[in-house]
Structures are given as structure tokens and as C-alpha cells.
Amino acid sequence: MKITCYQDTDTLYIEFREAEVAETREFDENTLLDLDEGGNLCGLTLEHARERADIPHVTFEQVAA
């Protein structure tokens, strides 16, 4: 997973996995979902990211099954 924050446009992009994007769907006015050919989610774009997410504070936790 890769997270990129574009400060100049206040956009956050989360790439869940490297894949060729076949389609981008609008979830809402400021959220876009990137899907591969099989309809699997491979990326998420958040516009106005500072208003919608706590950008400076990121935590990743992996929980064992």
C-alpha cells in the first residue's frame, strides 16, 4: 500500500495495490474509486483531504488472524 499526499491540491491518494486502472468511479463529489478490470479496488482519491482526514496522524496496525 502506498499513500501520497499532494499538498498543492489538497488531495490524498491511497494505492492499495499496483494494478492497471480500468475504471474510476465517483463515490461522492470528492471521493473517487479506482478499479481494475475485475472490479477490484486498487486506489482511492480524497479531494479536500485536510478537511476530511487527519492527515498528519497516520497509524497502521496489522492484527493477526
* Residue 12 domain-assigned (yes or no): yes
Residue range(s) defining the domain that contains residue 43: 2-52
* Residue 65 domain-assigned (yes or no): no
Question: Is this structure's pTM higher than 0.85?
Answer: no
Residue 32: predicted pLDDT: 98
β-bridge mates for residue 4, sequence order: 13
**Strands lying side by side in the sheet with 11-15:** 2-6, 11-15, 41-47, 31-35, 23-28
Q: 9-42 pLDDT, tens per residue?
A: 999 999 999 999 999 999 999 999 999 999 999 9
Query: Looking at the 3D structure of the chain, how many domains does it have?
Result: 1
N-terminal to C-terminal alpha carbon distance within the chain: 19
The Cα angle at residue 25 between residues 22 and 29, in degrees rounded to 5? 150
Give CA–CA dist 23/38, Å, rounded: 10
